[in-house]
Amino acid sequence: MTNPFLFQSFVVIFALSLVAKPAMADGGGPFPPRVGQPGSTAVAPDDPRIVAWAHRMVAVEWGEALSEEWKAPERALGPASGNIMDVVSLGRGGWITYETALPVIDRAGPDFAVFGNAHNDFFLELAFVEVSSDGENFVRFPATSLTEEPVPAFGNVDPTMVDGFAGKYRVGWAVPFDLDDLRAEPDAEYLDFNDVRYIRLVDVVGGTDERFTSLPQSRDSGGRLVYDPFPTVGSAGFDLDGIAVFHSELRAEPAPGGITLRWRAQPGAATRVLRSTDLREWSVHDTLPPADMAERAWFAPIGTEERVFFTVEPVW
Distance CA 97, CA 240 (A): 11
- Residue 145 lies inside a defined structural domain of this protein: yes
The span from the CA of 236 to the CA of 302, in Å, is 50
Which distant-in-sequence residues (6+ apart) come within 8 Å of 264 by Cβ? 102, 103, 195, 249, 294, 295, 296
Mark which of 219, 245, 271 sits at the end of a domain. Answer: 245
Both 104 and 220 in one domain: the answer is yes
Structural domains of the chain, count = 2
Domain match, 224 and 136 both: yes
Nearest partner of 51 among 279, 290, 300, judged by Cα: 279
Domain co-membership, 234 together with 212: yes
Same-domain pairing of 90 and 147 = yes
Question: Per the domain annotation, does 30 fall within a domain?
Answer: no
Q: Does a structural domain hold residue 256?
A: yes
The pLDDT tens digits along the chain (316 residues) read 333 333 333 222 223 333 334 444 467 899 999 999 999 999 998 888 887 787 889 999 999 999 999 998 888 776 888 888 888 899 999 999 998 877 899 999 999 999 998 889 999 999 999 999 999 999 999 999 999 999 998 899 999 999 999 999 999 999 999 999 999 998 999 999 988 999 999 999 988 888 888 887 799 999 999 999 999 899 999 999 999 899 987 777 888 888 888 887 777 788 888 888 876 678 898 999 987 767 788 888 877 666 777 778 778 7
Range of the domain at 273: 250-315
Give yes or no for a contact between 284 and 311, defined as CB atoms under 8 angstroms apart: no
- Are 77 and 220 within one domain? yes
Q: E strands of 38-107, at which residues?
A: 52-61, 88-89, 95-104
In a domain, 61, yes or no: yes
Q: Is 3 part of a structural domain of the chain?
A: no
Which residue, 190, 225, 245, sits at the end of a domain? 245
Query: Of all residues in the chain, what percent are helix, strand and coil, respectively (each to 5)?
Result: 5, 35, 60
For residues 109 and 167, state if they share a domain. yes
In this structure, are 304 and 161 located in the same domain?
no
Is the preceding peptide bond at 38 cis, omega within 30 degrees of 0?
no
Is the pTM of the predicted complex or chain greater than 0.85?
Answer: no
Tell me, yes or no, whether 144 and 207 share the same domain. yes
My answer on whether 175 and 278 are in the same domain is no
